[in-house]
Structures are given as C-alpha cells and as structure tokens.
Amino acid sequence: MADIPARTELKVTTGPIRGSRKVHVGPLNVAMRAIDLEPSSGEPPLNVYDTSGPYSDPNARIDIMAGLPQLRRDWIMGRGDVEAYDGREVRPEDNGQLGPDRSGGVPQFPNVVRRPLRAKAGANVSQMHYARRGIITPEMEYVATRENLGREMLREYVRDGESFGAAIPDYVTPEFVRDEVARGRAIIPNNINHPETEPMAIGRNFLVKINANIGNSAVASNVATEVDKLVWAIRWGADTVMDLSTGRNIHDTREWIIRNSPVPIGTVPIYQALEKVGGIAEDLTWEIFRDTLIEQAEQGVDYFTIHAGVRLPYVPLTAKRVTGIVSRGGSIMAKWCLAHHKESFLYERFDEITEIMKAYDIAYSLGDGLRPGSIADANDEAQFAELYTLGELTKRAWEQDVQVMIEGPGHVPMHKIKENMDKQLEACGEAPFYTLGPLTTDIAPGYDHITSGIGAAMIGWYGTAMLCYVTPKEHLGLPDRDDVKVGVVTYKLAAHAADLAKGHPAAKLRDDALSRARFEFRWRDQFNLSLDPETAEQYHDQTLPAEGAKTAHFCSMCGPKFCSMKITQEVRDFAAKQNAPVETFVAAEEAEAGMAGMSGIFKENGGEIYLSRK
C-alpha cells in the first residue's frame, strides 16, 4: 500500500478572500461572499456569488483526507428513490495497470464510499425528472437563493440590456428554476454520489458560468497539486471543474478531487476508456466504455462529455480542413469509426448511456468532437452536421428526462460567432450552450486567454450559459497555478461583461459600487470589490507603496495636480459654492446660435496667427 502523504504535503489554499466575509443566506444557508465597504462610503456590504466553498470559510475545518461535508446527503436520501449497493471493485486498469497495491502511484483516498447510490429499479433521480413532475427540490431552492444575489436591493432598477430573446427574470423564484430545468433550458449537474456539491444552475436565464479544466497529464503533476488546482480554481470563480486526467492514477486522482469539491465535476470518460485499451482507439468497445461510465458514475462525476455526434459520415468532411479534428474525444471516435468502418458506438448506444445517466443524475455535456481548431475551419459543414446531430440526441435524452448541455467551439472569427449561438438554440431546443472561448484569432499563442476571452464575452452575451476557460498556456504547455488563476479571472470578467450586456439585474451593482469607490478614492474598497484584489493592490503598490497612498486623493497615473477625478470634485464643489445649478448655465441651443457668426470673425484675423512669434 502506497504511503499516505503527510497532511503538510496535502495542504490546499484556505482562508477568506481578501476583504470578504463568508455569509450564509436563507433557510438553506446558501454560501455567499459579503464585501464590507469603508464606513465613509455609507454603503451596505455587497454580497457576491461565491464558488470557493468551505475553503474560504475561517470557521470550516478543512481536511482533504476526509473530504467535504455532504451538504446534499439528506436531501437525496429524503426523496426515497435511491438505494445503496456494492460498488464496482477498482481494477488495475482503472489506474493505468498500477496493480492492486497502486505501488508508486497516487495513494488511494482514505475515505472511499464502498456502497454508492443509484436509482431504485425503474426510478429516475434526475433533477429534470423531478422538475417535470412539478417537484421543487432543495437543489432548486438553493439555486434560486444563490442566483438572486442582491436583487432585493433593486426595487427601482430599470432593466438595461439586450438579451437576444433570453427570459431573465427580475427575481429568481424556486418555481422559475424548476420551470427552466423542466423545459431543458437549464441544468443542475448533481450526481447523487457527489453530495458535497453546493447546487448551481447552468442556463441562459441565469448568471453566465465558467468552467476550469484541471488534470494530471502523461507529462507532469501529482494528486496534491491536482486537489489544490481545484481549490485554487474555485477560489477565483470557477463554477464547475473538469478533470481531464490521462495516463496513470486516473481513478484515484478523480476520487481525491470529487470528495473535496463543492462544485460539479465533469469528465470525458473516453479518455479513461482509451487508457484501458492501451491507447489504441480501434480497440475501444462498448463494454469497456460502459464499464468506465459506471466506474465514474459511482464516484460521483456530475457531467460526462460524450462525443456521440461524431458520426462515420461526418469524418471525411474534416479531411480538407486546415486543422482537421482538434478535439481529443472527437479524433478518438473518428479513428474508431474509420478503423471499423462502422457508425460510432456512442451514437448507436446513446439511449443505453442515457439509462445510466438517469440512474445517478449525471448530466450530458454533448461534446463537439468536430469543433473548428482554426479560423479557417470555423462554421464549416462538419461542425454544423455534428451540431444538428447533437440536437437530435438532446431530444432523445430529454425523452428520459436526462439533463443536457451542448459543447461549442473553438476557433471562430467575431463575425461568425452569433451564427453558432443561433444555430445551437434552434437545433438543440434552447439546451444550455457550453463553449470553449471561442478564440477570435489564431495568431497570439501565449495570449489565447485574451483571444478567447473576447469571443467568450460575446457568445456569453448572445446566450451561452457556461464558458470553458482558456489559459495563457493554451496550445503551448500545461497551465501552472498562475495560469489557472489568470484563466479563471479572465473568464470571470468575460462572463460578467456578458451578464451586464444581457441586462442581468444583479450584475451592475458590483460595477457601480467599484466605480463609486474609484471616484471617491476608496482604494481598499476598489481592491476588495475587484475580481482579483491581490493583483489590484500589488499593481497599485508597485508605483505608490506608501500606506498613505491608499487614502490619498490622487493616484500615480496623473499625480496630485493632474488628477481629473479630483478636478471633477472641485468642479462640483465650485458649482455648489456659487450655487450654479443646471438652469443657470447657458442653454446648449443659445450657445450653438452664437457660434455661426463668430467663426467668420475668427477667420478674418486668423490668417496670420500661425506666423505669430508671441
């Protein structure tokens, strides 16, 4: 048995986010972050959406060897439609042939659940199933409170935005959540074997969410850093995390991550299935894939990326592309289809997969295996052929009340982004869209968090429900801790820009609070209200380190004399002193009138002015 590393080795990032207090709202104790403002502001604390889980709660006892408390356990058991059973035994191939003792590999999680839950025979435990039967679950109530974020402060709020046909409510009720889930316009990804999650919704009429990818790799990483990558990613705002681990230790790494994750975890099961057949795509079988689904379902994976839309007839459509097939799952299935010259078993067995999903309440993330990998390949026949097949599969999944979201591109120039959103809404009956970027140009490797952040903000505005982050290392290497943070914050700001543009009632509160702080030189409030308080303060201090500068009524950009905000305040004071309200000023019209005549006069003596030496 491999040694359990000392706890110090398994240390993860804890403690409050700078300037924030953890608060728990409502009967379900929905976790939020309260940002207290300086007394001089005369403003109440601002509550912001909080994905960081217990890790940012000073009162929580964190022990990743034990895993997080099971917030949803009672809710799940209380519905009386699940049964515990003897789980599938872990096999050597689950961890890359490490052997039963896992020697040399990642230690087994000390607290593994031996008897996972599944739906009783004939039952369906998906949130969509409950929703369609008119049942409002605690998960839905939790989501409603969580999404409502400060909307009660908005009594006289005037809706301002363009939502392109979304139906964002002024106030989110549990019934609204139920209705959105029932009609498939939103999903609540919550495997019954992952009771540690704080429920969240992914849907066009809720706040735009972001996903961060983590995972070990054939080349690097270990379990401690993987768990901390999760904790680190949610600390900065990741709403869900995908574990894209490959190679050895996949099973055990995933166990550590799920048991310590307050956010939904997604995976791409075909990656592990491929490991089980030594990486030979042709050797994949339905049995091995199904066995992998069961294995991950019992661990508690909340959504599966399934590339069931990569069909045999579509493969040749990619042959003339500049970058062919860039989705790993897509290329694996394409190779399998060609090798056997048969239709994809994911497509042919789709309804069987759905049967498994509904027994654990796992949501589909229907993969876009044929997404474009370059500007040149955007919006081509292969991409849209797959999209329409994903639409067909969405309806098939909905027949069994299984939750679905749809994955989207990729690399798309700005003028072709909206077509992706419009076609997805039409083909997939408003099932939530979940896009990777898209990257709006190919020429900036090292800055692809930005090339894609542009596309992400735009497609989020158009209606995408969740944005999969891209880090600065995209196309180049493995993201480190800093890259993950930059990727998450970049996508958080893109998602927020989208919420603002959609006219999301709660979104503008934070911008306005920060702008008031900026205008009044409340530097600490400005830092604390920002998405990354530490970086904001650090940048400020690089130029003006003195503590005094944090209360100074100017900043380093202009210095004391030139500060335009200071001058504006003087303008206001001045106007006040000589009590000169709006009315007393020359009316715009009058001013205009006088001008025409003047310009003539100026021209007369103007001729020589540039000759003047005075």
Given candidates 59, 319, 547, 597, which one binds a copy of itself under the rule CB under 8 A?
A: 319
Given candidates 355, 423, 524, 550, which one binds a copy of itself under the rule CB under 8 A?
A: 355
Q: Is 41 in the site for a copy of itself (CB under 8 A)?
A: no
Q: Which is nearer to a copy of itself, 66 or 567 (CB)?
A: 567
Q: Which is nearer to a copy of itself, 66 or 414 (CB)?
A: 414
Q: Which of residues 357-396 bind a copy of itself (CB under 8 A)?
A: 359-360, 373-376, 385, 396
Tell me: is residue 555 an annotated ligand-binding position. yes
- Distance between CA atoms of 609 and 614, rounded to whole angstroms? 10
Span interacting with a copy of itself, options 94-102, 196-204, 256-264, 317-325, rule CB under 8 A: 317-325
Given candidates 22, 33, 102, 118, which one binds a copy of itself under the rule CB under 8 A?
A: 118
- Distance between CA atoms of 229 and 35, rounded to whole angstroms? 25
Q: Is 421 in the site for a copy of itself (CB under 8 A)?
A: no
Smallest separation, CB 68 to a copy of itself (Å): 26
User: Cis omega (within 30 of 0) on the bond before 438?
Assistant: yes
Size of the site for a copy of itself (CB under 8 A): 169
Span interacting with a copy of itself, options 95-103, 251-259, 427-435, 473-481, rule CB under 8 A: 473-481
Span interacting with a copy of itself, options 20-28, 175-183, 227-235, 524-532, rule CB under 8 A: 524-532
- Distance between CA atoms of 517 and 513, rounded to whole angstroms? 6
Q: Which of residues 217-276 bind a copy of itself (CB under 8 A)?
A: 217-220, 246-247, 271, 274
Q: Which of residues 15-34 bind a copy of itself (CB under 8 A)?
A: none
The 3 state secondary structure assigned to 318-346 is: HCCCCCCCCCHHHHHHHHHHHHHCCCCHH
Span interacting with a copy of itself, options 8-16, 68-76, 223-231, 493-501, rule CB under 8 A: 493-501
Q: Which is nearer to a copy of itself, 1 or 610 (CB)?
A: 610
Q: Are strands 265-267 and 240-243 parallel, antiparallel or unpaired?
A: parallel
Smallest separation, CB 400 to a copy of itself (Å): 9
Q: Which is nearer to a copy of itself, 190 or 344 (CB)?
A: 344
492 class by beta-carbon count within 10 Å (0-12 exposed, 13-18 middle, 19+ buried):
buried
Given candidates 476, 481, 551, 593, which one binds a copy of itself under the rule CB under 8 A?
A: 476
Nearest to 550 by CA among 38, 89, 60: 38
Given candidates 202, 328, 387, 407, which one binds a copy of itself under the rule CB under 8 A?
A: 328
In sign, the C-alpha dihedral spanning 119, 123, 126, 127 is negative
Tell me: is residue 500 an annotated ligand-binding position. no
Q: Which is nearer to a copy of itself, 65 or 338 (CB)?
A: 338
Q: Are strands 303-306 and 265-267 parallel, antiparallel or unpaired?
A: parallel
Span interacting with a copy of itself, options 7-15, 63-71, 251-259, 562-570, rule CB under 8 A: 562-570
Tell me: is residue 340 an annotated ligand-binding position. no
Tell me: is residue 477 an annotated ligand-binding position. no
Given candidates 9, 84, 100, 574, which one binds a copy of itself under the rule CB under 8 A?
A: 574
Q: Which of residues 174-213 bind a copy of itself (CB under 8 A)?
A: none
Tell me: is residue 271 an annotated ligand-binding position. yes
Given candidates 12, 413, 422, 524, which one binds a copy of itself under the rule CB under 8 A?
A: 413
Strand partners, 47: 34
Ranges of beta strands (E only) in 274-428 are 303-306, 363-366, 404-408
User: Do 563 and 554 meet the contact criterion of CB atoms below 8 Å apart?
Assistant: yes
Q: Is 529 in the site for a copy of itself (CB under 8 A)?
A: yes
Q: Is 482 in the site for a copy of itself (CB under 8 A)?
A: no
The pattern of x and - marking residues 148 through 177 that bind a copy of itself according to CB under 8 A reads -------------xx---------------
Q: Are strands 46-49 and 30-35 parallel, antiparallel or unpaired?
A: antiparallel
Q: Which two tokens stand for residue 341?
A: 């010259």
Residue-wise DSSP of 78-112: HT--EEE-PPPPP-GGGGTS--TT-TTSPPPPTT-
Q: Which two tokens stand for residue 228?
A: 């901390």
Q: Is 322 in the site for a copy of itself (CB under 8 A)?
A: yes
Tell me: is residue 103 an annotated ligand-binding position. no
Nearest to 94 by CA among 285, 295, 268: 295
Given candidates 23, 25, 224, 444, which one binds a copy of itself under the rule CB under 8 A?
A: 444
User: Do 327 and 368 meet the contact criterion of CB atoms below 8 Å apart?
Assistant: yes
Integer-rounded Cα radius of gyration of the chain = 27
Q: Which amino acid is at 161?
A: G
Q: Which is nearer to a copy of itself, 355 or 422 (CB)?
A: 355
Q: Which long-range contacts (CB under 8 A, 24 or more apart) does 572-580 make?
A: none
Q: Is 546 in the site for a copy of itself (CB under 8 A)?
A: no
Tell me: is residue 610 an annotated ligand-binding position. no
Q: Which is nearer to a copy of itself, 54 or 309 (CB)?
A: 309
Q: Which two tokens stand for residue 501?
A: 């543009």
- Distance between CA atoms of 486 and 87, rounded to whole angstroms? 39
User: Do 343 and 311 meet the contact criterion of CB atoms below 8 Å apart?
Assistant: yes
Q: Which residue has the tokens 């109530």?
A: 141
Given candidates 93, 291, 407, 525, which one binds a copy of itself under the rule CB under 8 A?
A: 291
CA 106 remoteness from chain centre: 28
Span interacting with a copy of itself, options 13-21, 71-79, 171-179, 455-463, rule CB under 8 A: 455-463
Strand partners, 402: none
Residue-wise DSSP of 52-82: -GGGG-TTS---TTT----TTHHHHHHT--E
Nearest to 472 by CA among 483, 480, 481: 483
Q: Is 123 in the site for a copy of itself (CB under 8 A)?
A: no
- Distance between CA atoms of 455 and 435, rounded to whole angstroms? 10
* Annotated binding residues for Zn(2+): 411, 475
* Annotated binding residues for [4Fe-4S] cluster: 555, 558, 563
* Annotated binding residues: 213, 242, 271, 307, 327-329, 368-371, 407, 411, 434, 475, 555, 558, 563
